């Protein structure tokens, strides 16, 4: 049949451009990273001056990465970071969205705009800004706290990770809020009416109508916050010159970047990137599975 | 539209979704004391989000000396124009070049990404074919891959092809937006009627023609949102250009400003240039965000994806 074949050609025409580019820039790099992670550079001749070539290294790059305390620490650091950052971020975003949606709020577009504004600021520029607000001598915050007798240190080894958390929260809380707001707006207002007729107060409407219905938005923002937290990079990189607490392997991404571009050890860098992608997928898939099952039981 | 609440996408709302809001009666029921608490809370949070922006505006007006020597939250001998002129003329006006680069990467990248996502999402929504669901699942899996994990192997690949350190090295990976395909599929499935497509076919329109003159127009609201998010995602991206580019002439603004910042301890003037440059790049984007607020109804950022 001619219509069937023309439609098949249409599908191919619409889909192929995307699929080819997706294969080239998503699937191929993953394969290539895995391939590179199995290679190492071997030098020949006296003192390694006879030139170098790539040879198969088995899993040695992975054992090197996973037995390097610095790299293992960096993974544990971002996991600890995510453990605090994710609940904080989602709670803040959800609370702001619900407050803006509540009947008691005034000036909603104004507030929503103010919260969403930082999303337009690139992470590195946000980090430069907050860096000025953290560093003693420039920061008005340190100034003011100092006058009240508090010696604030935002860049010490115990605090700098949470200073990074503050930057990340500032950047993305408004964005996550907007995702929740979009879903809140899609709720049929008749449901509120029905709940009120049943005698529900504002809190009960939130608890039993709004929260269950915005659950997909919360799951979505949680997954993206998990992935974002694990691939922390720009913020610690920008704060590095002003904080001695941030090492070149402070986060897994910083470690991989250092291996690739400072030590020219592409095999190890690729192995570290693969490990990070694996950890991120385990946690994001794991979270989706967990919430998916809960949904089925209800 | 039950699919919208079942699947993890608040996202783009098709025109059929309910949008009526009735606030007035609820507002009357809310006691004044409670309203003051809520608005007070919202104001405190707003101050937090606006504090760095306010600091940036004040700091952009200061000389390098006053940046370090005066109280950060108030003006001291403002010289905004002189500072901005310095930013725009420093090093052969390289800042202007970075700005144009950023506009090129984000503008062209987002436009092509949106078109590709629209085509793929439309095909997935409106045509039956055997491998449809498996292909869709593979595309969705791409949403979960950390962008920074891709950047490093992409650099190695591009190096072998001689593409590293070129405009294409940043542009090509930016035009693939799996989440955009997902949004387009949902939107097209809900908003583009089969009957309309059938009528167009009877009138003799080809499949390509139906897409360009019918579907694209109907999907426009979703496409605007996807374009905006992809634009900001590319504009804010740092890791990919950092890995790919070594020639400062190809830098986007993010990379350029951090290069100034990293030299500032040797050349203190660069502190003020960094602040002025940040001011110049942030303010227009913020105005754009506020003006375009109604278009940001939805979405998902590539920002949190590609870091």
ipTM: 0.90
Query: Cβ–Cβ of A140/B176 closer than 8 Å?
Result: no
Residues of B numbered 5-24 whose beta carbons fall under 8 angstroms of chain A's beta carbons: which are they? Answer: 5-11, 13, 17-23
The predicted-structure confidence for B100-144, as pLDDT tens digits, reads as follows 999 999 999 999 999 999 999 999 999 999 899 999 999 988 888
Between residues B21 and B246, the one the model is more confident about: B246
> What does the pLDDT read at residue A54?
83
Residue A71 has pLDDT above 50, yes or no: yes
Q: Does B214 touch chain A (CB under 8 A)?
A: no
Q: Tell me which of A97 and A5 has the higher pLDDT.
A: A97
pLDDT at B245: 97
Tell me the nearest-neighbour CA distance from B293 into chain A, angstroms.
7
- Does a structural domain hold residue B114? yes
Q: Does residue B17 register a pLDDT over 80? A: no
What is the reported pLDDT for B296?
66
Which DSSP symbol is given to A210? Answer: I
Which pLDDT score, from 0 to 100, does residue B108 have?
Answer: 97
Query: What is the per-residue pLDDT for B285?
Result: 83
Which 8-state DSSP code applies to residue A209? I
The continuous run of DSSP H or E covering A293 comes out as helix A266-297
**Closest to A189 (Cβ–Cβ): which among B20, B150, B297?**
B20
> A168: closest CA among A84, A254, A288, A286?
A84
Gap between the Cα atoms of A223 and B52, Å rounded: 27
> How sure is the predictor about A137, in pLDDT bands with cuts at 50, 70 and 90?
confident
pLDDT tens digit sequence for A206-236: 999 999 989 988 998 999 999 999 999 999 9
How many Å lie between the alpha carbon of A47 and the closest alpha carbon of chain B? Answer: 26
What string of DSSP letters covers chain B?
A: -HHHHHTT---PPPTTS------HHHHHHS-HHHHHHHHHHHHHHHHHHHHHHHHHHHHHTS-HHHHHHS-TTS--S--HHHHHHHHHHHHHHHHHHHHHHHHHHHHHHHHHHHHHHHHHHHHHHH---TTHHHHHHHHHHGGGS-HHHHHHHHHHHHHHHT-TTSHHHHHHHHT--HHHHHHHHHHHHHHS-HHHHHHHHHTT--HHHHIIIIIHHHTHHHHHHHHHHHHHHHHH--HHHHHH---GGG--HHHHHHHHHHHTTTSTHHHHHHHHHHHHHHHHHHHHHHHTGGG--S---SHHHH-
pLDDT at A2: 62
pLDDT bucket at B29, cuts 50 / 70 / 90 = low
Residues B201-223 have a mean pLDDT of: 92
Looking at chain B from residue 149 to 208, which residues have their Cβ under 8 Å from any Cβ of chain A?
Answer: 149-150, 152-157, 172-173, 175-176, 178, 181, 206-208
The verdict on a CB contact (< 8 Å) between A189 and B18 is yes
Predicted local confidence at residue A202, as pLDDT: 83
**pLDDT in the model for residue B122:** 96
How does the average pLDDT of chain A come out, rounded?
Answer: 89
What the block records as the tokens of A51 is: 């030139």
Residue A47 has what pLDDT? 67
**Euclidean distance between CA atoms A25 and B112, whole angstroms:** 15
Query: What is the pLDDT at residue A49?
Result: 66
Q: Which residues of B touch A86 (CB under 8 A)?
A: none
- Distance of residue A155 Cα from the nearest chain B Cα, in angstroms: 17
Is there a domain that residue B184 lies in?
yes
A6 interfaces chain B, CB cutoff of 8 Å: yes
- Residue B248 CA to residue B257 CA, distance in Å, equals 11
pLDDT of residue A6: 85
Q: How confident is the model at residue A167 (pLDDT cuts 50, 70, 90)?
A: very high
| Within a domain: B159 | yes
| The 3-state secondary structure of A13-48, one letter per residue | HHHHHHHHHHHHHHHHHHHHHHHHHCEEEEECCHHH
Instruction: Inform me whether the C-beta atom of residue B238 falls under 8 Å from chain A C-beta atoms.
Output: yes
B20 pLDDT higher than 60:
no
Minimum-distance CB partner of A178 among B30, B145, B296: B296
Q: Are A230 and B146 in contact (CB < 8 Å)?
A: yes
The answer to whether A224 contacts B304, with C-beta atoms less than 8 Å apart, is: yes
The H or E element spanning position A55 is: strand A52-56
Which of B28, B136, B153 best tests the A interface by mutation, with the highest count of A CBs <10 A?
A: B153
Å between B218 CA and nearest CA of chain A: 17
Instruction: Name the band, by pLDDT with cuts 50, 70 and 90, for residue B65.
Output: confident
The arithmetic mean of pLDDT across residues A242-266, rounded, is 93
B230 to chain A: closest CA residue: A120
Q: Do A19 and B135 touch (CB under 8 A)?
A: yes
Buried b (16+ CB within 10 A) or exposed e, A174-209: bbbbbbbbbbbbbbeeeebeebbeeebebeebbeeb
Q: Please state the separation of Cα B154 from the chain's center in Å.
A: 21
**CB pair distance less than 8 Å for B127 and A172:** no
Based on the structure, what is the number of domains in chain B? 1
pLDDT at B25 over 50: no
The CATH-assigned architecture of domain A23-297 is: Orthogonal Bundle (1.10)
Task: Tell whether A32 is within 8 A of chain B (Cβ).
Answer: yes
Question: Cβ neighbours of residue A100 under 8 Å, at least 6 residues apart?
Answer: A108, A111, A112, A177, A181, B42
Residue B231 reports pLDDT greater than 70: yes
Instruction: Flag whether pLDDT at B267 surpasses 50.
Output: yes
- Chains A–B, number of C-beta pairs less than 8 Å apart: 322
Domain boundaries, position B106: 79-306
The mean per-residue pLDDT over the stretch A189-202 comes to 88
Give pLDDT tens digits for B68-96.
888 888 888 899 999 999 999 999 999 99
Predicted confidence at residue A125, as pLDDT, reads 93
Q: Taking CB atoms and an 8 Å cutoff, what residues of chain A touch B6?
A: 216
> Which A residues, 135 through 164, put their C-beta within 8 Å of a C-beta on chain B?
137-140, 143
* Residue to substitute from A128, A233, A243, interface B, most B β-carbons within 10 A: A128
Please report whether residue B5 resides in a domain. Answer: no
Please, which pLDDT band fits residue B146 given cuts at 50, 70 and 90? confident
Three-state SS for A294? helix
**What 8-state DSSP symbol labels residue A206?**
I
Cα distances (Å, whole numbers) of residue A7 to A10, B203, B305: 5, 16, 34
Nearest to A294 by CA among A231, A227, A222, A225: A222
* pLDDT value for B209: 94
Q: Taking 70 as the threshold, does the pLDDT of residue B32 lie above it?
A: yes
Centroid of chain to Cα B243: 20
Share of residues in chain B with pLDDT > 70 (%): 86
- Please provide the average confidence, as pLDDT, over all residues in chain B: 85
d(CA A208, CA A220) in angstroms, rounded, equals 20
The whole-number pLDDT of residue A296 equals: 43
What CATH number is given to the structural domain containing B89?
1.10.3720.10
**pLDDT tens-digit map of A97-134:** 999 988 777 888 889 989 999 998 999 999 999 999 99
A33 contacts B153? CB cut-off 8 A: yes
Residue B297: the pLDDT is 57
Residue A160 has pLDDT above 70, yes or no: yes
Determine, yes or no, domain membership for B50: no
pLDDT band per the 50, 70, 90 thresholds, residue B54: very high
pLDDT at B27: 47
Residue B14 has pLDDT above 70, yes or no: no
Kindly identify which residue of chain A lies nearest to residue B72, measuring between CA atoms.
A140
What are the residue boundaries of the structural domains of chain A, listed by start?
23-297
Question: What pLDDT sits at residue B7?
Answer: 35
Nearest by Cα to A210 from A195, A197, A232: A195
Q: Which two tokens stand for residue A145?
A: 């706290």
Q: What is the mean pLDDT of residues B284-305?
A: 61
Which of A182-186, A236-240, B250-254 has the least mean pLDDT? A182-186
């Amino acid at each position: 049949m001619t219509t069937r074949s023309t439609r098949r050609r249409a599908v191919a025409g619409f889909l192929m451009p995307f699929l080819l580019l997706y294969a080239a820039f998503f699937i191929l790099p993953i394969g290539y990273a895995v391939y590179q992670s199995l290679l190492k550079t071997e030098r020949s001749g006296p003192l390694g001056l006879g030139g170098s070539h790539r040879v198969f290294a088995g899993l040695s790059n992975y054992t090197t990465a996973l037995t390097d305390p610095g790299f293992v620490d960096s993974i544990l650091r971002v996991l600890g970071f995510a453990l605090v950052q994710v609940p904080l971020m989602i709670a803040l975003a959800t609370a702001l969205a619900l407050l803006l949606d509540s009947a008691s709020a005034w000036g909603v577009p104004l507030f929503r705009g103010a919260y969403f504004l930082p999303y337009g600021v690139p992470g590195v520029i946000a980090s430069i800004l907050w860096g000025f607000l953290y560093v003693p001598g420039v920061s008005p915050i340190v100034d003011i706290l100092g006058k009240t007798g508090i010696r604030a240190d935002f860049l010490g080894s115990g605090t700098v990770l949470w200073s990074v958390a503050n930057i990340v929260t500032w950047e993305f809380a408004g964005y996550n809020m907007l995702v929740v707001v979009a879903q809140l707006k899609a709720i049929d207002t008749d449901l509120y009416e029905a709940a009120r007729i049943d005698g529900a107060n504002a809190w009960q409407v939130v608890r039993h109508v709004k929260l269950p219905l915005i659950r997909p938005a919360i799951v979505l923002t949680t997954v993206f916050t998990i992935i974002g937290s694990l691939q922390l990079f720009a913020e610690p990189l920008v704060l590095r010159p002003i904080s001695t607490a941030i090492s070149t392997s402070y986060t897994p991404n910083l470690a991989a970047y250092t291996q690739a571009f400072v030590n020219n050890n592409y095999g190890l860098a690729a192995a570290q990137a693969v490990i990070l992608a694996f950890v991120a997928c385990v946690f994001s898939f794991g979270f989706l599975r967990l919430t998916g099952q809960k949904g089925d039981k209800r | 539209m039950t699919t919208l609440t079942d699947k993890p996408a608040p996202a783009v709302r098709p025109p059929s979704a309910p949008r009526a809001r009735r606030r007035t009666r609820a507002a009357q029921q809310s006691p004044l004391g409670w309203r003051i608490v809520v608005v007070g809370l919202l104001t405190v949070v707003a101050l937090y989000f606006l504090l760095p922006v306010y600091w940036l505006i004040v700091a952009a007006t200061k000389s390098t000396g006053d940046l370090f020597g005066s109280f950060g939250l108030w003006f001291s001998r403002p010289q905004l124009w002189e500072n901005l002129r310095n930013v725009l003329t420093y090093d052969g006006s390289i800042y202007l070049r970075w700005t144009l680069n950023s506009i090129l990467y984000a503008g062209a990248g987002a436009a092509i990404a949106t078109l590709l996502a629209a085509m793929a999402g439309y095909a997935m929504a409106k045509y039956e074919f055997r491998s449809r669901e498996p292909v869709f699942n593979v595309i969705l899996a791409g949403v979960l891959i950390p962008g920074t994990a891709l950047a490093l192997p992409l650099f190695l690949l591009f190096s072998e092809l001689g593409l590293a350190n070129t405009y294409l090295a940043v542009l090509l990976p930016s035009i693939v937006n799996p989440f955009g395909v997902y949004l387009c599929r949902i939107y097209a499935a809900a908003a583009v009627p089969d009957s309309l497509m059938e009528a167009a076919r009877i009138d003799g329109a080809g499949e390509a023609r139906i897409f360009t003159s019918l579907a694209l127009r109907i999907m426009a609201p979703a496409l605007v949102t996807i374009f905006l998010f992809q634009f900001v995602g590319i504009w804010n991206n740092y890791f990919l250009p950092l890995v790919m580019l070594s020639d400062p002439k190809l830098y986007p603004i993010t990379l350029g400003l951090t290069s100034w910042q990293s030299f500032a301890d040797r050349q203190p003037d660069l502190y003020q240039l960094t602040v002025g440059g940040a001011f110049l790049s942030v303010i227009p984007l913020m105005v754009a965000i506020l003006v375009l607020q109604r278009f940001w109804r939805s979405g998902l950022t590539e920002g949190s994806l590609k870091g």
